[in-house]
Every structure is written in structure tokens, then in C-alpha cells.
Amino acid sequence: MLRVPDARFIVAFDRASEADSVRMGGKCAGLARMIAAGVNVPNGFAITTDAYAEHLESGRLRSRVEALMRSIDIGNVDDEEEKSSEIRRLIMSAAMPAGVEAEIRRAYRAIAEDDDLPVAVRSSATAEDMPDASFAGQQDTYLWIVGEDDVVERVKACWASLFNARAISYRARNGLGWLDAQMGVGVQKMVDAAAAGVAMTLDPITGNRTRIVIDAAFGLGEPVVSGEITPDNFVVEKVMLEILKRKIANKDRELVADRAARRTVHKVIEASRRALPSLSDAQVIAVARLAKVLEKSMGCPQDVEWAIDRDLPDGENVVILQSRPETVWSRKKVEREKTYAVGIEGVLGALLSPLRVKQ
């Protein structure tokens, strides 16, 4: 594996510093931190927000996007969709600045060693997973992208996804301007997953932090993350790492790689395999153990995307694709603490006010 060259618009995951985090976006910064902590993460690099800004500055693109953003009738779904489509068309049709494109191509060749390595191209917005507003899933990810030409096009598509109608509406509702979110992009070796899914280091239904809850399915994990399929579900006790519950779904399809066609496809699962668990007990425990390590390393409950890599030997084949702070129960905790503080402050205010009058 060649070394990703140092460059103005590129940061290799395995050489990123904390100072690089703000330029990488939330997703890429998280990957870099996990690699620094010794977690098994597929190799790759971030295309920084500087590259996105450079693209906007080319060909008067920024002023044209700004004019369209000002003209949107927020709350009017048809107008949001129409202006969103126009902005994304402008970003995709504009030529990428030559310096940015050259660095992306050079970095891809470095991790590919040729022009035939499948990669995932993932959006990594700077506003992702803020404590009070989760942007997870609002921008695009492209799987099994092969060749530097396609990588360059998908990077532009990730930039453009910052302006899909859902993201525009979400930022408006949360009081964020269009410049408040910048876009980094991650390019990462594609995992040929035997199984994949998500792991929460608390119970997403009850908030119980003594549990790790794992959803899993055969193949790549995107159908699990997006809710397209009903996954297998495992509940693991966090301290002793014992499986407490398992619910095996009837899984009729999986998302897998079509190597010849250089893309992913939905494949029908043969009847004899549909009711089998997607993970062995040993794999369930291995996923739970890694999720527990990530929670400790990151200092808060985590929402972890993982996969079982067919290309790696048993015992080393659980890889982490993403880990971000859990937001639902974390926000509830903050809201409870604020409510409690206001209540106590109110009581103290009532108790102390007579004393203040007498003074």
C-alpha cells in the first residue's frame, strides 16, 4: 500500500492531527480518531472543506448558489425541491478546479496502486452530529466506486448533496445559514462485507446504558442503516459481554458487490439461508467489544457502523466504518438537566427573594 501524499486539499486518515479535524468534516474526523486509537478502520483519505470552498469560488459558483438560496420559499416543498435541483445541477456541471482534481486523483492512485480499487465515497459535513442537531443521513454516500474519473464525479456529487431539499429545510429549521455547513469528503477502501450493520452502546428504546444493541444483516450495511430491511437484532450485556436476547429476521435480500459491473446490487437470498443468523455468537461479541471500546475512547454513547470483511481472517475481520455520538438519548439527558436546573433555580429564587427584600 502506497503512502497518500501530503497535499493542500488531502489529509490521510492515518496521519491526521486534531488540528485537521475541522477541515475534514465530522465523519472523516471520527475515522481519523479511531485509527489513532488503534481501531481497525479501512484505509483512506479526506478531501478537505478547502477543496469544497475552492470549487464554490470557481466560475462565479458561490454567488449563483447564494442568489438561489436567498430566493427559496422555505416551507414551500415544491420551491425547495426546484431550487435544490438547480443548485445541485450548478455544482455538478462546474469544472472542478485543476489543483483539487489533481490531488484527488493522486491520492486515489496511492491507495489503489492502480485504477481498479473499489472505494466508498462518503459525505462528511462539518455540521454533522452536532449535540443539538443531527445531520446524519442527510448527505450522500456512494459505494463500490472504481477508477479516478468516477471518484472525482462522486466527490462533486457529495458536495452537491449539501443542498438537497431535505438538508436545506433542516438547516433553515435549526437557524443555520447555508455557509454554516461545509463539506469534506471521505474516500475509503470498500469493504466486501459478509455481514454488516449498526451497534448502539445503549438501548435505543429505553436508553439503558448497560446494554449494547446490534442490528445486522447479510451483505453491506446500507439497507440496515436506511431501514430498508428488517435486520437480525442482538442485545448484549455491556460489562460481561453476554448475549441476552437475539431475534433472527427472515432476510430475503442483501446488498452485495457486482465486481464485473463495478457496482452494488440487491441479491435475492436463497431460501435455505434466509432464517439463519447473519452473525455467529463470536462475531456478535466481537462487534460489541469494539463498540464498547469506542464508547470509552470517545467518552459518550456511540452509534457505530461496522462490517465483517470477507478479505480479512477471522479474529481481525470486524472493521468499523463510522462511529458518531448517539444523539436521541443524549439530547433527552440535556433537556432533563436544563429542566432540573430551571426548577432548582426557581425554588432558590423564591426562597431567597424575601431575604433580598428585607435587605
Q: What is the pLDDT of residues 193-220, one digit of tens each?
A: 999 999 999 999 999 999 999 999 999 9
Q: Would you state the pLDDT for residue 31? A: 94
Mean pLDDT score across all residues of the chain: 87
Q: Would you state the pLDDT for residue 126? A: 86
User: Rounded to an integer, what distance in angstroms lies between the CA atom of residue 75 and that of residue 168?
Assistant: 10
Confidence of residue 342 (pLDDT cuts 50, 70, 90): very low
Q: Would you state the pLDDT for residue 279? A: 98
Confidence of residue 4 (pLDDT cuts 50, 70, 90): confident
Q: Would you state the pLDDT for residue 133? A: 46
For 103-106, the CB contacts below 8 A with 24+ separation are 103/7, 103/8, 103/9, 103/10, 103/51, 104/9, 104/10, 104/47, 104/51, 104/148, 104/151, 104/152, 104/155, 104/187, 105/148, 105/151, 105/152, 106/5, 106/7, 106/10
Cell (9 digits) for 115: 485504477
Q: Would you state the pLDDT for residue 140? A: 86
pLDDT, average across residues 35-48: 94
pLDDT, average across residues 297-315: 93
Q: Would you state the pLDDT for residue 334? A: 44
SS3 assignment for the chain: CCCCCCCCCEEEHHHCCHHHHHHHHHHHHHHHHHHHCCCCCCCEEEECHHHHHHHHHHHHHHHHHHHHHHHCCCCCHHHHHHHHHHHHHHHHHCCCCHHHHHHHHHHHHHHHCCCCCEEEEEEEECCCCECCECCCCCCCEEEEEECHHHHHHHHHHHHHHCCCHHHHHHHHHCCCCCCCCCEEEEEEECCCEEEEEEEECCCCCCCCCCEEEEEEEEECCHHHHHCCCCCEEEEEECCCCEEEEEECCCCCEEEEEECCCCEEEEEECCHHHCCCCCCCHHHHHHHHHHHHHHHHHHCCCEEEEEEEECCCCCCCCEEEEEEEECCHHHHHHHHHHHHHHHHHHHHHHHHHHHHHHHC
User: Rounded to an integer, what distance in angstroms lies between the CA atom of residue 17 and that of residue 36?
Assistant: 9
With 90 as the cut, is the pLDDT of residue 344 above it? Answer: no
Q: Would you state the pLDDT for residue 337? A: 45
Is the distance from CB of 20 to CB of 86 less than 8 angstroms? no
User: Rounded to an integer, what distance in angstroms lies between the CA atom of residue 89 and that of residue 92?
Assistant: 5
Query: What domains, with CATH codes, occur in the chain?
Result: 10-189 (3.30.1490.20), 193-332 (3.30.470.20)
Confidence of residue 158 (pLDDT cuts 50, 70, 90): very high
With 80 as the cut, is the pLDDT of residue 349 above it? Answer: no
Confidence of residue 335 (pLDDT cuts 50, 70, 90): very low
Instruction: Give Cα separations from 264 to 172, 223, 254 (angstroms).
Output: 34, 12, 10
Confidence of residue 127 (pLDDT cuts 50, 70, 90): low
Confidence of residue 128 (pLDDT cuts 50, 70, 90): low
Pick from 18-22, 252-256, 283-287: least confident: 18-22
Q: Would you state the pLDDT for residue 259? A: 84
Grid look-up 442490528 returns: 215
Q: Would you state the pLDDT for residue 116? A: 85
Report pLDDT digits (tens) over 87-124: 999 999 999 999 999 999 999 999 987 678 999 999 99
Q: Would you state the pLDDT for residue 173? A: 84
What is the pTM assigned to this prediction?
A: 0.84
User: What whole-number percentage of the chain has pLDDT above 70?
Assistant: 87
Q: Would you state the pLDDT for residue 355? A: 34
Is the distance from CB of 23 to CB of 52 less than 8 angstroms? no
Q: Would you state the pLDDT for residue 205? A: 94
Q: Would you state the pLDDT for residue 354? A: 38
With 90 as the cut, is the pLDDT of residue 294 above it? Answer: yes
Rounded to 5 degrees, φ, ψ at 128 are -65, 140
